[in-house]
Homo-oligomer: A and B are copies of this chain.
């Protein structure tokens, strides 16, 4: 009940600190006889690995996943699947200076307030490195969904204030920001160079698209599909806002504009983002998550130390300019886990 589990039927529990021995995840409730190889998971982990693009830190995490249980002769057995990644290339030295200082924008202060103790090395449990477990579990969730014809894709639609005007999905893997608009991607590249030069960081907006989801997933009243999706996305460290379909724009529409007219076989438009009354409608599910800039900037900052005294701080170490490109696989993972969970929940309503 410490908040480290997610999902009800397809349920994951993650563990591990940034500079601890290892990180991992246990997945309970995965149906049997789904093919799963270490490569299936590794592929997703590689996508979240740093050091891949312009906005990334040079830390070299190999992040080799080990499947410790729940898979027999290449198939899930219905028993819990334990996945583990050892922490390598860890240097806690630069964090020694931060032992008694609360970094602005980080969880240092609040962890201390909550627990009265904290592992300060690399941000401890609050580090983005915790998402290794999410992405590993998400790889399995994606396999469950793929068997039902459901596919998920996340990409960057805004970064440093520059918005993608197009959705050309062939472009996504062609630029380091996973942006579906090549012109925007170029402008983002310049913005990132600028920010790095300043010692500053950038935020942005990730969009997540789900195709092939059948109508009927999601539970009223509290476990509405968009409610669980919002929780899943908002539980990612840097996310500060979530919207579905037209989202905040829907608040500015008339009802006559906002309603999606049903037509034979679907809807004539999709401002609802594929969810009506908390239940998937069969249309594409469209979500967006607002990602704040990484709080670890190189500029000098004012803060306090653990005894409450004002101090000046300049953070050293290896840090990304933006969490955005690495956050796309995490967003996909969370959406995949929510959908796999609701897929299993939906099965309980039907006789075999």
Contact = CB atoms under 8 A, between A and B. Distances in A.
A187 interface: no
A259 interface: yes
Contacts of A218: 3, 110, 114
B235 A4 contact: no
A139 B329 CA distance: 37
A217 to B, nearest CB: 8
A3 B221 contact: yes
A20 B73 CA distance: 11
A95 interface: no
A32 B116 contact: yes
Contacts of A53: none
Contacts of A257: 293
Residue with the highest number of chain B CB atoms closer than 10 Å, among A115, A130, A292 = A292
Interface string A21-46: 11110101111110000000000000
Interface string A61-97: 0000011111010010111111010000000000000
Contacts of A351: 147-148, 347
Given A4-B28, A255-B200, A250 B352 contact: no
B302 A261 contact: yes
Interface residues of A, number: 156
A26 B15 contact: yes
A92 to B, nearest CB: 11
30 contacts: A1-B9, A2-B28, A2-B79, A3-B220, A5-B28, A5-B222, A15-B68, A15-B69, A21-B68, A72-B118, A77-B115, A77-B125, A84-B84, A104-B262, A105-B260, A107-B277, A107-B278, A110-B215, A110-B216, A110-B281, A113-B216, A125-B220, A161-B252, A204-B251, A224-B235, A228-B231, A230-B230, A241-B242, A251-B292, A347-B351
Given A4-B221, A14-B221, 15 more contacts: A1-B344, A5-B28, A13-B26, A15-B69, A16-B82, A79-B119, A110-B215, A110-B216, A114-B215, A125-B220, A203-B253, A237-B278, A240-B250, A258-B293, A259-B297
